[in-house]
Amino acid sequence: MTARVTAATSRSIKPSSRKPQSARLEARISHDLHRVVKRAAEMQGRTVTDFVIDALQSAASQAIEQADHVRMTMADQEAFAQALIAPAKPNPALKRAFAKANKLLAD
């Protein structure tokens, strides 16, 4: 069993309310793919450009959203929760690292 944990920094991609500046994006695709995209756009009563822009926006938003999620097994969730509840004591190397960091930041 896996669970999805949303990162605190998760954010959705929303179009701006003001008119965005335009940027050009070009891609070489096969004739077969072009026919499929054109047919799909026509079936929705849209231009190929509108269809492609919408598909790109959806795919990009989904990729970003998926990257903001952490998937853990039940055992991993329990280990993570236990580490938060009862963190391990710092070892000598960690203590030295913190001392060095504090010294660098104090200067």
In the chain, where the domains are located: 29-70
| Residue 59, pLDDT score | 97
Local structure of 9: helix, strand or coil? coil
pLDDT in tens, 35-62: 999 999 999 999 999 999 999 999 999 9
Residue 4 and residue 77 in contact, taking contact as beta carbons nearer than 8 Å = no
> Which pLDDT score, from 0 to 100, does residue 45 have?
98
Say yes or no to pLDDT of 11 above 90: no
Read off the pTM: 0.51
